[in-house]
């Protein structure tokens, strides 16, 4: 059974640009959650999608957005990149997203210069 | 008060000893509790899940939950140098809608 796949693994962008990250969940999983991980803040919840609907959102500015497709694949977008957006972005896949185990992808390392 | 709190460590234990990792949470209605292990430069890996009070054992790992005290712990028996990693405690809220992580405890197992 394939795991969670995130692409790309590494990205270098300049300030002001935008970026799109992709996450393919485990087959059969309908929930995808996104997290930002930085050394100082740990894992911060961005948002969760279930059946193409954003079900929950963390405390991030509107520059961070996402969507989910009918095949459960999800994308997150960050517009007008800032230096502080440099982080490891992780997505987690679970069957329903509630009370069920979540499995992480390898992450996308974003560096903003 | 943070929603999920862990001592950042490092917690240093000798090889073969028991490592005890602790976590407290603020939402009394939390229902599900998870422990993840994260090696440096890697993504978190699920180790254990626990949903009811008491102990749950899986190999060298034992998760303990006390909802009255809002406390969850992870014991690692016969610790090995390969167990050296950051251990993340995660909790779902009362509405079970999102997973909240602690900042993690760094464990160092020395030979």
Nearest CA to A20 out of A87, A105, A77, A73 is that of: A77
Start-to-end C-alpha separation, chain A: 37
pLDDT at B2 over 80: no
Chain B nearest CA to A99, separation (Å) = 6
B105 class by beta-carbon count within 10 Å (0-12 exposed, 13-18 middle, 19+ buried): buried
pLDDT score of B95: 67
Partner-chain residue, chosen from A33, A41, A105, that has the shortest CB–CB distance to B43: A105
pLDDT at A42 over 90: no
In this complex, do A33 and B96 lie within 8 Å of one another by their Cβ atoms? no
Chain B nearest CA to A90, separation (Å) = 7
Which tokens belong to B74? Answer: 């992870």
Residue B44: list chain A partners with CB under 8 A: 43, 90, 104
pLDDT at B109 over 90: yes
Mean pLDDT of A79-108: 92
- Cα B63 from Cα B74, distance rounded (Å): 5
At A48-77, the pLDDT tens digits run: 999 999 998 999 999 999 999 999 999 999
In this complex, do B34 and A106 lie within 8 Å of one another by their Cβ atoms? no
In this complex, do B98 and A45 lie within 8 Å of one another by their Cβ atoms? yes
Residue B42: list chain A partners with CB under 8 A: 106
Which tokens belong to A46? Answer: 């961005």
Highest mean pLDDT range out of A8-17, A39-48, A95-104?
Answer: A8-17
pLDDT at B96 over 70: no
A40 torsion bin: left (phi>0), alpha (psi -120 to 50), beta (else) = alpha
Between A39 and A68, whose confidence is greater? A68
Closest chain B residue to A45 measured between Cα atoms?
A: B100
Q: Assign B89 a pLDDT band (cuts: 50, 70, 90).
A: very high
At A5-28, the pLDDT tens digits run: 999 999 999 999 999 999 999 999
Residues 6+ apart with CB under 8 A from A74: A22, A23, A25, A32, A34, A49, A66, A67, A68, A91
Partner-chain residue, chosen from A42, A99, A106, that has the shortest CB–CB distance to B92: A99
Residue B30: list chain A partners with CB under 8 A: none
Name the average pLDDT for chain A.
94
Nearest CA to A58 out of A43, A72, A68 is that of: A43
Pair A46, A60: CB distance under 8 Å: yes
Per mean pLDDT, which range of A96-105, B81-90, B92-101 is the poorest? Answer: B92-101
At B53-78, the pLDDT tens digits run: 999 999 999 999 999 999 999 999 99
Nearest CA to B45 out of A25, A40, A92, A58 is that of: A92
Partner-chain residue, chosen from A98, A99, A101, that has the shortest CB–CB distance to B46: A101
pLDDT score of A39: 86
């Amino acid at each position: 059974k394939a795991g969670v796949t995130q692409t790309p693994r590494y990205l270098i962008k300049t300030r002001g640009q935008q970026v799109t990250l992709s996450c393919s969940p485990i087959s059969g999983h309908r929930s995808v959650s996104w997290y930002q991980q930085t050394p100082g803040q740990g894992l911060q919840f961005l948002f969760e999608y279930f059946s193409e609907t954003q079900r929950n959102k963390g405390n991030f500015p509107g520059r961070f957005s996402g969507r989910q497709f009918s095949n459960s694949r999800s994308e997150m977008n960050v517009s007008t990149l800032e230096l502080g957006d440099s982080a490891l972005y992780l997505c987690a896949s679970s069957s329903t997203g509630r009370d069920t185990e979540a499995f992480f992808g390898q992450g996308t390392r974003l560096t903003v210069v | 008060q943070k929603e999920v709190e862990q001592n950042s460590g490092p917690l240093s234990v000798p090889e073969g000893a028991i490592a005890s990792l602790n976590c407290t949470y603020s939402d009394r209605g939390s229902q599900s509790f998870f422990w993840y292990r994260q090696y440096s430069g890697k993504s978190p890996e699920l180790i254990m899940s626990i949903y009811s009070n008491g102990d749950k054992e899986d190999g060298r790992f034992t998760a303990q939950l006390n909802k009255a005290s809002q406390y969850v712990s992870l014991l690692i028996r016969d610790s090995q140098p390969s167990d050296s990693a950051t251990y993340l405690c995660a909790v779902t809220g009362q509405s079970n809608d999102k997973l909240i992580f602690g900042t993690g405890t760094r464990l160092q197992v020395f030979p």
